[in-house]
């Protein structure tokens, strides 16, 4: 930040002591009666001096770098990396002087193209006290130009810590958390990646501890929300705990002097937020004026008048926002961290549950086909123990990973517990979202975390036909049970194992339902991608708009819909398929049933 003035005032003389004033913090040589008075009472004469001198004062200041010259010139804020692992936290100014200064933390979220990055730059110019007539502007975020407007310009969750200095327009330090834009052309997978980045950011022990404001950045002209836009809102809300609702505000961009149409859309969507006199608290901006030319010319046209008008509107909104921010109660991120951790664990469990349930149902079919073959051919089998029959089975296959992707595979179960996983090192697998209390909650054996590894492949299942013999089946049962087996005994054992497999599938379903219940207790909103009907609307929307890459996005949505169906049935306590409607009443298996088909760890044949 601009350096603190090394000069001291001579109280008796009412003047500054020796030396030339070369910093904005000195108020350009004017003697303040108190520091607070300087902050709250800035005369027109003082603002004029700022306009004339600001660019001169910053040219030799190491906190800024020139980006472009003109009327106005644009300077970049030089940021310091804090060097914290896994975190993107950058500092502006010196924190050593302001250890007791109050800090306010703002998080900005929005769709791609909502104007979020430019709004952040507007905040910085307000904080630094830039006026319309000044000959310079500042940029905290320098937007990349190698991305299309349909792609988010921001790729990481980044916190900018702006440490308080005496010439600030706000009486506190400000931390601005910038997030990648939701809903760009790269589809649902990219949005899920953003949620994961936010989870990782908030989960770090040296990270952000609390939030003062969660700001949705939305375009003024959105008279109604499309299914995709509703999905973006719901996705973001599903990140937070219920206690954050009274800290949500709206920053409306591309606004004019009229009432923004998007307010009705927000009201119709019933989005929780701060209200004043039963009206949605919002702040209007038109950032087209932020870096507009402000040089006065004789034939001044209407465009210049509009630019200055939009500048003043934005300045007024910024003043209202930061005044309101000062009064907002800081909310701990503990509940939000719980929501994110539970949601990530749930997502991992659901992903792992799919192959388990599919394979479990395939085992039920396999047992039924085996039982039918034995019952229908008992006489033939008594004459020839090498009798052959055909069944369909689920078989594991190895799929090579894409470059840069990591996986958590269980060595004991030959099963992929989490893909893609954020942790590449095996010693970090305890932190994988598939783990709880040191054990995996996904793999069939519920194995210890340290038998899980990152490998060059993941496991997938495929259905194949296999020819078997009665002689081999009999041998398997005699080895498993340690006694001589007849056809009748094997059929009886198959019926018991059928019930056992059913029970295991239902237990998997119960595990899922418990996570869903916990999420309902703590989350501000459910994950929109847990509702099949909602996903179907997104699919139809993609088909109608048919934008570039829509077929790939539809394929991703179809896969998510299958997971959502499992979630929905688990929540309602419904059987997972029509095949399960005849399930017997629930029971507790007191002792593990020995057998051939009912050991989950042996379900996945490689």
Structure tokens belonging to residue 499:
């019930």
Predicted pLDDT at 602: 60
Instruction: Choose among 461, 422, 413, 459: nearest CA to 440.
Output: 413
Q: Which residues have C-beta within 8 Å of that of residue 254, sequence separation ≥ 6?
A: 115, 219, 220, 221, 286, 288
Q: Are 341 and 434 in contact (CB under 8 A)?
A: no
pTM to 2 decimal places: 0.64
Beta bridge partner(s), residue 605: 395
What mean pLDDT comes out for the span 160-167? 88
**Distances in Å between the alpha carbon of 325 and those of 174, 220, 249, 281?**
10, 22, 10, 12
Tell me: the pLDDT tens digits for 566-586?
767 766 666 555 444 344 444
**Span 489-498, mean pLDDT?**
88
Sign of CA dihedral 135, 141, 146, 152: negative
Spatial distance between the Cα atoms of 78 and 80, rounded to a whole number of angstroms: 7
Q: Per-residue pLDDT for 321 more than 90?
A: yes
- What pLDDT is recorded for position 213? 94
- Say which range, 50-64, 234-248, 280-294, has the weakest mean pLDDT: 50-64
Residue 332, pLDDT > 80, answer yes
54-294+317-329: what fold?
Rossmann fold (3.40.50)
Contact 577, 502 (CB under 8 A): no
Token pair for 77? 């804020």
- When pLDDT is cut at 50, 70 and 90, the band that residue 133 belongs to is confident
Task: Report d(CA 357, CA 603) in Å as an integer.
Answer: 11
What's the mean pLDDT when you consider all of the chain?
Answer: 77
Q: What integer is the mean pLDDT of 351-370?
A: 79
**pLDDT at residue 178 greater than cutoff 90:** yes
Give 3-state DSSP helix, strand, coil % of the chain, rounded to 5: 45, 20, 40
Return the SS3 of 5.
Answer: coil
Quote the tokens at residue 311. Answer: 């500048």
> CA geometry: angle at 454 spanning 451 and 512, to 5°?
70
Q: What is the pLDDT of residue 407?
A: 96
Whole-number pLDDT of residue 108:
93
Where residue 269 falls among pLDDT bands split at 50, 70, 90? confident
pLDDT of residue 250: 93
SS3 letters across 283-329? EECCHHHCCCCCCCCCCCCHHHHHHHHHHHHHHHHHHHHHHHHHHCC
> Nearest-CA neighbor of 415 among 399, 396, 387, 388?
396
DSSP-assigned beta bridge partners for residue 66: 75
CB 420 within 8 A of CB 403: no
- Range list of H helices, 523-549: 532-545
pLDDT value, residue 247: 92
If phi over 0 gives left and psi between -120 and 50 gives alpha, with beta otherwise, what is residue 533?
A: alpha
Q: How confident is the model at residue 152 (pLDDT cuts 50, 70, 90)?
A: low
Residue 424 · residue 406 · CB < 8 Å: yes
The predicted pLDDT at position 605 comes to: 55
Q: Rounded distance, CA 517 to CA 352, Å? A: 19
Q: Lowest-pLDDT range, 109-113, 118-122, 321-325, 563-567?
A: 563-567
Q: Where are the domains of the chain?
A: 54-294+317-329
Convert the pLDDT of each residue in 271-295 to its tens digit. 888 888 889 999 998 888 888 887 7
User: Which of the 8 DSSP states describes residue 410?
Assistant: E
Task: Determine the pLDDT at residue 57.
Answer: 59
Q: What does the pLDDT read at residue 154?
A: 66
């Amino acid at each position: 930040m601009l350096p603190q003035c090394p000069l001291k005032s001579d109280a008796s003389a009412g003047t500054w002591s020796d030396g030339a004033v070369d910093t904005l913090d000195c108020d350009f040589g004017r003697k303040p009666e108190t520091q607070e008075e300087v902050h709250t009472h800035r005369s027109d004469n003082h603002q004029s001096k700022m306009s004339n001198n600001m660019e001169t004062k910053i040219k030799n200041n190491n906190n800024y770098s020139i980006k472009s010259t003109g009327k106005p010139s644009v300077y970049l804020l030089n940021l310091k990396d804090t060097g914290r692992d896994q975190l993107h936290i950058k500092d502006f100014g010196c924190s050593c002087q302001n250890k007791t200064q109050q800090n306010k933390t703002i998080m900005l979220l929005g769709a791609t193209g909502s104007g979020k990055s430019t709004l952040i730059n507007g905040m910085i110019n307000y904080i630094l006290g830039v006026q319309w007539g000044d000959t310079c502007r500042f940029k905290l975020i320098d937007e990349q130009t190698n991305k299309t407007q349909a792609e988010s310009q921001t790729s990481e969750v980044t916190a900018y810590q702006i440490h308080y200095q005496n010439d600030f327009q706000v009486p506190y330090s400000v931390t601005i958390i910038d997030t990648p834009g939701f809903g760009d052309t790269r589809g649902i997978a990219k949005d899920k990646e953003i949620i994961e980045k936010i989870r990782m950011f908030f989960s770090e022990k040296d990270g952000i501890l609390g939030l003062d404001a969660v700001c949705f950045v939305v375009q003024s002209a959105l008279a109604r929300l499309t299914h995709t836009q509703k999905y973006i809102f719901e996705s973001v809300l599903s990140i937070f705990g219920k206690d954050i609702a009274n800290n949500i505000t709206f920053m409306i961009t591309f606004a004019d002097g009229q009432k923004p149409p998007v307010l009705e859309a927000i009201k119709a969507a019933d989005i929780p937020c701060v209200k004043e006199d039963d009206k949605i608290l919002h702040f209007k901006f038109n950032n087209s004026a932020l870096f507009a030319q402000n040089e006065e010319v004789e034939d001044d046209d209407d465009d210049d008048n509009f630019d200055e008008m939009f500048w003043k509107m934005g300045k007024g909104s910024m003043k209202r926002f930061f005044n309101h921010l000062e009064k907002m109660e800081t909310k701990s991120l503990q509940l939000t961290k719980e929501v994110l951790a539970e949601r990530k664990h749930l997502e991992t469990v659901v992903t792992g549950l799919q192959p388990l349930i599919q394979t479990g149902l395939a085992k039920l079919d396999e047992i039924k086909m085996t039982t039918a073959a034995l019952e229908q051919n008992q006489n033939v089998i008594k004459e020839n123990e090498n009798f052959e029959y055909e069944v369909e089975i689920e078989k594991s296959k190895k799929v090579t990973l894409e470059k840069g992707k990591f996986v958590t595979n269980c060595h004991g179960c030959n099963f992929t517990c989490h893909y893609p996983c954020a942790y590449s090192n095996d010693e970090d697998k305890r932190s994988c979202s598939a783990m709880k209390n040191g054990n995996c909650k996904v793999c069939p054996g519920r194995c210890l975390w340290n038998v899980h590894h990152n490998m060059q492949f993941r496991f997938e299942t495929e259905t194949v036909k296999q020819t078997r013999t009665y002689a081999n089946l009999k041998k398997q049962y005699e080895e498993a049970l340690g006694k001589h087996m007849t056809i009748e005994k094997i059929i009886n054992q198959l019926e018991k194992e059928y019930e056992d497999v059913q029970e295991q599938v239902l237990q998997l379903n119960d595990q899922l339902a418990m996570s869903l219940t916990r999420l309902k207790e703590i989350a501000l909103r459910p994950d929109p991608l847990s509702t099949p009907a909602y996903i179907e609307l997104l699919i139809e929307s993609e088909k109608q708009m048919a934008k570039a890459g829509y077929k790939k996005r539809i394929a991703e949505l179809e896969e998510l819909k299958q997971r959502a169906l499992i979630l929905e049935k688990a929540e309602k306590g419904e059987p997972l398929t029509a095949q399960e409607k005849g399930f017997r009443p629930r029971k507790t298996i007191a002792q593990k049933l020995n057998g051939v088909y009912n050991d989950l760890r042996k379900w996945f044949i490689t």
